[in-house]
Amino acid sequence: MRPVRLLLYMIVAGSAQAWASEPLAYTIRISRPADHQAEVSVKIPTEGRASLDLMMPLWSPGYYAMQDYAGQVHDLVAVNPAGKPLAVEHPAPNRWRVHSEGERSVALSYRLACPSHFVTTNLVTEDLAVLNGPATFITPTTSLKGSYDVWLDLPAGWKHCATGLEGAPDQKAGHFVAPDYDTLLDCPIVAGTFSTHSFVVAGTRNDLVDIGSFGTWDGAKVSQKLAAVVQENLRFWGVLPYKKYVFLNVFGPGAGGLEHQNSTMLSSMPPPAGSTEADFRWYTYVSHEFFHGYNVKRLRPVELGPFDYEHPPRTTGLWVAEGLTTYYGPVMAVRAGLGRPEDFLAELSGEIRGLQSAPGRLKQTLERSSLDVWEEGGSGVGGDPTKGISYYVKGPVVGFLLDARIRMASQDRRSLDDLMRLAFQRYGGEKGFTEAQFRATAEEVAGVDLRAWFRKHLASTEELDYSEALDCFGLRFATSPDPAKPTWKLEPNPNATPAQKARLADLLRARRG
């Protein structure tokens, strides 16, 4: 039986000027899903040059580790418009050079191995495909500014597609468009057999796409809880900065999440039925990724854009991008009514315990953990805790301390919420912020000089002082039977004053209205 044709197709111009008005179009064909592979083809204008240089990204934005995507590319072939094979060199692991011999365009085709799923890699099975842009699309090195079309050619019976990409104007199934290469890479695609549950917040559609084996998982119920997370972010930031949003929820071994402008790729096992603690952790995890749609995808350190996909960016600001997002993940889940204050305290206690048990906290600063991420385990989670510290661990703890500092310095007139909103207003979008600009914004919100505070918490390995934060929120660390081994478990102080209790309630209270 002939496969249902959901093509990724492009009309190719004969020159670079034509490409500016005509999209570069890819066709992704999955003809034998049991082989765990996809076939990609694209025609590329050459301006009549003697050779054409092509590249594949070496990393994915949001995942700070080098990736060998080109290692999954096989049988790359280039031909001229008459079908004559052209010579292809492979001068670098992620680069190819096509000897185009003065032809106005070349047709490129290659096979992608798609053996396993991670948030940055590709998977093809008998039932579905999960395709991530950096692991899929080879493109000319000369310009990444042209527009793109994507057509899917899928097996019969694969009736569903989901992606953050816009549908093409022709409204044909499986035909998508992207205004630039950044958008093309930022929108994962899933196709095959899965279930979708939609909900609307402030007139904007959001989809929960459940993919894989998930047993008793109730997607309809979960989608309504995610609606509360979206609503709480709308209250926090004042805007939903997208036309649609897709939660691509892939169930399977392993865990991880990767944020995108208007979608997130989730990889996890569903929480066990009846486990409220596991439920809260799952919603915290998804809340973290959704918060990233604002903090890092739009409000970002200046080094994180525009992207150079062949050279990884280095910034001291991942404690903001990732650390503060980790702090707000459980905060927003509690505010959305998906957990209790005790759940938030348990999550934060885990971060503090992880920090205080890592000898590396006395050897590596928070800034260096961000700068050194590409050499030390990747993405801030795989480094040696005896040698350094992750910004995923120290970052949220510093966020907690900064929240308390702002509240106390401003006499409860401002909080970390106000800092994030003001920074988003000033530096969201294409601007980005420098380290100095973020600190200056924090000082403006707090109303005090924070240079010494930032130096200690970001640029030194001094032990953190929790006393102000404990006093601010009326908390204490639970007593340990061994004074030499603190529990680092946060709990409400039974002697907390009404003002202290009010601050903790304000931190975790849903903002209605």
CATH number at residue 90: 2.60.40.3650
The pLDDT value recorded for residue 3 is: 34
The pLDDT value recorded for residue 399 is: 98
Measured distance CA(139)–CA(298) in Å, rounded: 25
Q: Which two tokens stand for residue 322?
A: 């990732």
In this structure, the strands spanning 175-178 and 166-167 are antiparallel
Helix (H/G/I), strand (E/B), else coil: 171: coil
260 lies in some domain: yes
Q: Are residues 105 and 118 in the same domain?
A: yes
Q: Cβ contacts of residue 139 below 8 Å, gap of 6+?
A: 24, 54, 55, 56, 181
The total of other beta-carbon atoms located within 10 Å of residue 483's CB is 7
Q: Are residues 48 and 131 in the same domain?
A: yes
Measured distance CA(108)–CA(280) in Å, rounded: 47
Burial (Cβ within 10 Å: 0-12, 13-18, ≥19) of residue 140: buried
What is the sign, positive or negative, of the torsion defined by CA atoms of 71, 72, 74, 80? negative
Measured distance CA(64)–CA(51) in Å, rounded: 32
Sheet holding 123-124, edge to edge: 123-124, 128-131, 189-192, 160-163
Averaged confidence pLDDT in the chain: 92
What is the band of 270 on the pLDDT scale with cuts at 50, 70, 90? confident
Q: Are residues 348 and 480 in the same domain?
A: yes
Q: Are residues 252 and 370 in the same domain?
A: no
Q: What is the pTM of this model?
A: 0.93
Q: Are 62 and 80 in contact (CB under 8 A)?
A: no
Q: Are residues 209 and 130 in the same domain?
A: no
Measured distance CA(300)–CA(437) in Å, rounded: 12
**Over 50: is that where the pLDDT of 16 sits?**
no
Q: Cβ contacts of residue 105 below 8 Å, gap of 6+?
A: 12, 13, 14, 43, 44, 45, 46, 80, 81
The pLDDT value recorded for residue 21 is: 52
214 lies in some domain: yes
In this structure, the strands spanning 24-29 and 148-153 are parallel
Q: Are residues 362 and 438 in the same domain?
A: yes
Which helix (H) or strand (E) segment holds residue 367: the answer is helix 366-371
What percentage of residues in the chain have a pLDDT greater than 90?
83
**Over 50: is that where the pLDDT of 2 sits?**
no
Question: Beta strands of 240-325 (E only): which ranges?
Answer: 244-251, 256-259, 263-268
The pLDDT value recorded for residue 212 is: 79
Closest CA to 152 of 181, 121, 119, 190: 190
The pLDDT value recorded for residue 213 is: 67
Closest CA to 395 of 310, 301, 493, 317: 317
pLDDT, mean of residues 243-268: 92
Range of the structural domain that residue 240 is part of: 195-269
375 lies in some domain: yes
210 lies in some domain: yes
Q: Which two tokens stand for residue 429?
A: 């979008």
The pLDDT value recorded for residue 47 is: 85
Range with the lowest mean pLDDT among 6-20, 303-317, 391-405? 6-20
DSSP classification of residue 76: E
Q: How far is CA 328 from CA 36, 60, 158, 322, in A?
A: 38, 23, 38, 10
286 lies in some domain: no
306 lies in some domain: no
DSSP classification of residue 320: I
Q: Are residues 55 and 84 in the same domain?
A: yes
Q: Are 195 and 270 in contact (CB under 8 A)?
A: no
Which helix (H) or strand (E) segment holds residue 481: the answer is none
Number of domains in the chain: 3
Q: Are 139 and 94 in contact (CB under 8 A)?
A: no
Measured distance CA(370)–CA(487) in Å, rounded: 27
What is the band of 254 on the pLDDT scale with cuts at 50, 70, 90? low
428 lies in some domain: yes
**Over 60: is that where the pLDDT of 128 sits?**
yes
pLDDT digits (tens, 9 = 90+) for 420-471: 999 999 999 888 999 999 999 999 999 999 999 999 999 999 999 999 999 9
Domain finish residue from 158, 192, 226: 192
Q: Which two tokens stand for residue 356?
A: 């205080």
DSSP classification of residue 56: -
Measured distance CA(130)–CA(265) in Å, rounded: 10
Q: Are residues 333 and 377 in the same domain?
A: yes
Q: Cβ contacts of residue 218 below 8 Å, gap of 6+?
A: none
Q: Compute the half-sphere exposure of residue 227: CA atoms within 13 Å on the CB side of its CA.
A: 16
324 lies in some domain: yes
Residue 395: phi and psi, rounded to 5, are -55, -55
pLDDT, mean of residues 46-54: 93
Domain finish residue from 135, 163, 192: 192
pLDDT digits (tens, 9 = 90+) for 182-194: 999 999 999 998 9
Q: Are residues 214 and 330 in the same domain?
A: no
| Chain center to CA of 478 | 35
